[in-house]
Amino acid sequence: MKTRTAVLYQPGESIRVEEIELDPPKEHEVQVKIVAAGVCHSDYHLVTGELPGYMPMALGHEGAGIVEAVGSAVTNCAVGDHVVLSFIPSCGTCYYCTRGHTNLCNLGAAILMGPQLDGTFRMHGSQGQDIGQMCVISTFSERTVVPDISVVKIGDYYPLNRAVLVGCGVATGVGAVIHRAKVETGSTVMIIGCGGIGMNAVQGAHIAGARMVIAVDTVDYKLERAREFGATHTINPKNQDVVQIVKDLTWGAGVDYAFEAIATPATIGQAYACIGKNGTVVVIGLTPATAESIPIPPLDLVLFQKTVMGTLYGDSQPRNDIPNLLAMYGAGKVKLDELVTKTYTLDQINEAYADMLSGKNIRGVIEFA
């Protein structure tokens, strides 16, 4: 069948929206009509070339929609089900899955490779060329075919243009705080970068019961919004000394936890400088593949017993955490409506990324008719 999809042909080019051919689902695959897709920075790393991946690539990795068809062996969903897609497939049987880290499933190696899990392609261009699928799901598409192990069924009473956010941004940001760092009640927390991921780290720290939540960003609008999500203090590094203010706020001790969602060596080093003894830095964002080191003094790491850790998908377990986060949203414990700054059509995909890069959005969402 034909479907309109956002495709990147080469790094440095604009994303093209065009009609392509979509093959039907195979035995363990699901065809989904996408209702909403989140505009996340991770896809843009392919546009800039900072993240290497298959080309051409149909982009999008945060999506929600309705199941239209299922392969003969699919048992976890049925036609008509409302679903959120997980951008990392999980087999449930590998070393990492069986130890409770399905976000690290060995199948995650496929997310930038292009083809589906069996090594073949479901999307094809007008000239017959194979088109890869970002994270094997490609949510910037009217319709997509995905592995059944990338599908999480949800209640049909959740609006899909809000449920979409728990597929990546909310699960990653909140999960980094709750699951990876395990922030303790009464602790002090700093978050550098208050976009779609960092803002959810802010609300994650609030949910965890941190007594001090310091939000850092160069955009005043985002700092204002951060207070709605639980920030107790805000810092704009364009005109304030982040490290000095953090030290002052904590009586010289430094914060217990610092979350870094900008993903540059400089800001990771800044986060490290802001933590105190026994403090923890959690790096959430994707640095360019060319970055090979971060400015952290090893002696200080030992003498003050500090920890630096990374996190993928917030160490979340999508089959459990996606429904749980939506239940918390339904109970008024997780904010989703407030995250959406602006909605776009698929044809406005490049405008949506321009707005993200300029700092206008917390989260932009593509909505399909």
Q: Is the same domain home to 6 and 153?
A: yes
Cis amide prior to 56 (ω within 30 degrees): yes
Q: Residue with structure tokens 């209702």?
A: 35
pLDDT exceeds cutoff 80 at 1? yes
> In angstroms, rounded to a whole number, what is the distance separating the alpha carbons of residues 16 and 138?
14
- Let me know how many helices (H) and strands (E) the chain has, helices first: 10, 18
- Is residue 283 located within the same domain as residue 179? yes
Active-site annotation holder among 41, 61, 101, 206? 61
Task: Report the chain's mean pLDDT, rounded to a whole number.
Answer: 97
Evaluate if residue 101 carries a pLDDT over 90. yes
- Does residue 258 surpass a pLDDT of 90? yes
Residue 324 located in a structural domain? no
pLDDT tens sequence across 136-165: 999 999 999 999 999 999 999 999 999 999
Q: Residues 42, 86, 138, 141: which is the catalytic one?
A: 42
Catalytic hit among 41, 45, 101, 206: 45
**Domain identity same for 127 and 266:** no
86-109: average pLDDT: 96
Whole-number pLDDT of residue 259: 98
Catalytic position from the list 97, 105, 135, 168 = 168
pLDDT in tens, 158-210: 999 999 999 999 999 999 999 999 999 999 999 999 999 999 999 999 999 99
Residue 32 lies in a domain: yes
In a domain, 167, yes or no: no
User: What is the structure's pLDDT at 295?
Assistant: 94
Q: Is 42 a catalytic residue?
A: yes
Token duo for residue 249:
């706020």
| Mean pLDDT to the nearest integer, 106-132 | 95
Percentage of the chain with pLDDT > 90?
A: 96
Count Cα atoms within 13 angstroms, Cβ side, for 38.
33
Query: Residue 22 in 3-state DSSP?
Result: strand
Residue 107 located in a structural domain: yes
Q: Give the count of beta carbons closer than 10 Å to the beta carbon of residue 139.
A: 33
Question: Residue holding tokens 């932009």?
Answer: 364
Q: What is the per-residue pLDDT across 207-230, written as a single tens digit (0 to 9) for each?
A: 999 999 999 999 999 999 999 999
Q: State the angle between helix axes of 220-228 and 198-208 in degrees (0 to 180), rounded to the nearest 10.
A: 30
The domain tally of the chain equals 2
The band of 263, judged by pLDDT with boundaries at 50, 70 and 90, is: confident
Residues 235 and 151 in one domain: no
Question: What is the domain-level CATH number for residue 22?
Answer: 3.90.180.10
CA angle 68, 69, 72 (to 5 degrees): 165
Residues 236 and 194 in one domain: yes
Confidence of residue 291 (pLDDT cuts 50, 70, 90): confident
Strand 275-283 and strand 307-310: pairing?
parallel
66 domain residue, yes or no: yes
The CATH number linked to 292 is 3.40.50.720
Structure tokens, 30? 């699901």
Query: Residue 2: is it exposed, middle or buried by C-beta count within 10 angstroms (0-12/13-18/19+)?
Result: exposed
Residue whose entry in the numeric block shows the structure tokens 């109970």: 331
Shared-domain flag, residues 145 and 13: yes
Q: What is the pLDDT of residue 231?
A: 98
Same domain, 298 and 190: yes
Give the span between the Cα atoms of 303 and 165, in whole angstroms: 40
Mark whether 168 is an active-site residue: yes
Q: Are 133 and 114 in contact (CB under 8 A)?
A: yes
Q: Which two tokens stand for residue 135?
A: 């994270």
Task: Give DSSP secondary structure letters for 264-276.
Answer: -HHHHHHHHHHEE
Q: Is the separation of the CB atoms in 20 and 3 below 8 Å? A: yes
Q: Examine the domain organization and report whether 137 and 35 are in the same domain.
A: yes
Categorize the per-residue pLDDT at 247 as very low, low, confident or very high, splitting at 50, 70 and 90. Answer: very high
Give the pLDDT score at 306.
98
Are 148 and 81 within one domain?
yes
What would the two tokens of residue 183 be?
Answer: 């922030």
Q: Look at residue 288 in the predicted model and tell me its pLDDT.
A: 86
pLDDT digits (tens, 9 = 90+) for 296-318: 999 999 999 999 999 999 999 99
Residues 31 and 141 reside in one and the same domain? yes
Report whether pLDDT(239) > 80: yes
What confidence category does residue 126 fall into, taking pLDDT thresholds of 50, 70 and 90? confident
- Side chain identity, residue 42: S
| 329-356 average pLDDT score | 97
**Does residue 274 have an active-site annotation?**
no
Distances (CA, A) of 98 to 90, 92, 103, 147, 310: 10, 6, 11, 19, 20
DSSP assigned state of 136: G
State CA 202 to chain mean position distance: 14
Mean pLDDT, rounded, for 23-51: 96
Q: Is the pLDDT of residue 369 over 90?
A: no
94 given a catalytic annotation = no
363: pLDDT strictly greater than 80: yes
Domain that holds residue 129: 2-157+336-367
Is 41 a residue whose pLDDT tops 80? Answer: yes
Asked whether residue 135 carries a pLDDT value surpassing 90, the answer given is yes
Max Cα–Cα distance, the chain, nearest Å: 64
Q: What is the pLDDT of residue 270?
A: 97
DSSP E strand boundaries for the chain: 2-8, 16-22, 29-39, 57-58, 63-70, 82-85, 123-124, 130-133, 143-147, 151-154, 188-192, 212-216, 233-235, 255-260, 275-283, 307-310, 340-344, 363-367
Section 321-326 average pLDDT: 98
pLDDT above 70 as % of the chain? 100
Q: Is residue 243 part of a domain?
A: yes
Known catalytic membership, residue 82 = no
The verdict on residue 358 lying in a domain is: yes
Other beta carbons within 10 Å of 175: 26
Examine the domain organization and report whether 115 and 216 are in the same domain. no
- Provide the pLDDT for residue 171: 98
Integer-rounded Cα Rg, in Å, for the chain is: 20
Q: CB–CB of 92/102 below 8 Å?
A: yes
Residues 33 and 131 grouped into a single domain: yes
State whether the Cα torsion 137-364-318-63 is positive or negative.
negative
**pLDDT at res. 127:** 85
With tokens 């309705």, the residue in question is: 66
Residue 162 lies in a domain: no
Give the whole-angstrom CA distance, residue 142 versus residue 258. Answer: 38
